[in-house]
Amino acid sequence: MKKITVSAPAKIHLLGEHAVVYGKPALVAAVNLKLTVVVSSNGSKNNSYDLSKIIEPIIKKEFKIKTIPKYKLEISSEIPVGCGMGSSAAVSAAYIAALLLFLNIPWDLDLINKLTYEAEKVFHGNPSGADNSTIVFGGLIWYRKEMPDLKIIQKLNFSIPKKLANNFVLVNTGQPKESTKEMVIKVGNLYKEKPQIVEKFLLEQEKLTRELLFVIKESKEDELIWIIRQGEKNLESIGVASSYVSSIIREIEKLGGAAKICGAGGSTKSTGMLLAYHKDPDKIKEAAKKNNLSCFQVDLGVKGLRVE
Ligand code: PMV
């Protein structure tokens, strides 16, 4: 029996979400929440997954093949769905990678990333490609889309220093009512109606993302807190953080920390995962508890896609 197991990490935007759709840089980290896909020749073809209807045509088109031999597909995941942690990119990447190996196509991360981007287009309409690139290559990714066919995907040669890494906490505000696609369209509409607001957001977010790179590398804690606060303020200016979530973030700021939405966000109530930072992470845990929200600490900058 042939059995291929591939795992993918989650991702979190340290900064640059939404701006990255407009050609600005994003700094994104792979996170140690695991999604696993098993493709095996065991049993009859299990096509109860709608995902197969998206992934198989992408592979057939790329390799000009008409049929794919029968296989069984199993998916298990620790990544919360629709919470800004790249669950869709993770499942597509792991599935594509496993199916390619099943078809005896050699392991090629660039190819897997390219095909995962095609799947992301089906999910999100106009994705930047940052999510799939981070999940596939892992680590800390500096991502910038210059043109549809030219993307800078730079895996950084340093990791987040321990002093900083241990003080990040993820706070789950719940799955947003709005999809990533809807939030990206919302920002696009704002750009048409009030271009000056989005232009200002883009310029400031680019500056902050560049500063963040330096601040992380040099392990500058006070500056990191300042950048997360400013980055969040900018995200709020384009309407991707609901008032419910903004007020929780204000509480964390009052305690001396910082927090931001991650990924597309939401405008009604929940916005998915918050990335929070405090010199004493217990303070964030207290704030989360007070608001009846779950929170947890993760490793940032972990390995990307791999065969188990
Ligand atoms: O919410 P997520 O994990 O799908 O992240 C979306 C990030 C955006 O910048 C809003 C969109 C994109 O394609 O980069």
Residue range 136-153, pLDDT digits in tens: 999 999 999 998 889 999
Please report the pLDDT score of residue 124 as a whole number.
Answer: 82
CB-facing half-sphere around the CA of 266: CA atoms within 13 A? 20
| 131 CA → ligand 1 middle, Å | 7
Q: Is the CB of 21 under 6 A from ligand 1?
A: yes
The tens digit of pLDDT for each residue in 236-293 reads: 999 999 999 999 999 999 999 999 999 999 999 999 999 999 999 999 999 999 999 9
Give the whole-angstrom CA distance, residue 209 versus residue 219.
15
Nearest ligand 1 atom to alpha carbon 130: 14
Query: To test the ligand 1 pocket, which listed residue (172, 180, 271) has its Cβ within 8 A of the most ligand atoms?
Result: 180
| 127 CA → ligand 1 middle, Å | 7
Q: Is the CB of 25 under 6 A from ligand 1?
A: no
Angle ∠(18,20,24) on CA atoms, nearest 5: 125
Task: Give the burial class of 68: count Cβ atoms within 10 A of its Cβ; 0-12 exposed, 13-18 middle, 19 or more buried.
Answer: middle
Q: Is the CB of 82 under 6 A from ligand 1?
A: no
Residue 131 among the catalytic residues: yes
Nearest ligand 1 atom to alpha carbon 126: 13
Interhelix angle 109-124/52-63, rounded to 10 degrees, is 130
Q: Is the CB of 20 under 6 A from ligand 1?
A: yes
| 292 CA → ligand 1 middle, Å | 26
Q: Are 40 and 72 in contact (CB under 8 A)?
A: yes
Give the whole-angstrom CA distance, residue 39 versus residue 45.
10
Give the whole-angstrom CA distance, residue 109 versus residue 102.
15
Nearest to 33 by CA among 154, 170, 176, 228: 170
Query: What is the strand order of the sheet 273-277 is part of?
Result: 258-261, 273-277, 168-172, 294-296
Q: Which long-range contacts (CB under 8 A, 24 or more apart) does 65-69 make?
A: 68/99, 68/103, 69/41, 69/102, 69/103
| 202 CA → ligand 1 middle, Å | 15
Q: Which of 50, 108, 110, 131 is catalytic?
A: 131
The tens digit of pLDDT for each residue in 9-57 reads: 999 999 999 999 999 999 999 999 999 999 999 766 555 668 999 999 9
Q: Residue 35: what are its φ and ψ, rounded to 5°?
A: -115, 135
Which residue's alpha carbon is at the smallest distance from atom 7 of ligand 1? Answer: 263
| 34 CA → ligand 1 middle, Å | 19
Q: Is the CB of 184 under 6 A from ligand 1?
A: yes
Secondary structure of residue 239 in the 3-state scheme? coil
Q: What is the mean pLDDT of the chain?
A: 95
Average pLDDT of the segment spanning 95-119: 97
Please report the pLDDT score of residue 59 as a whole number.
Answer: 97
pTM of the model: 0.94
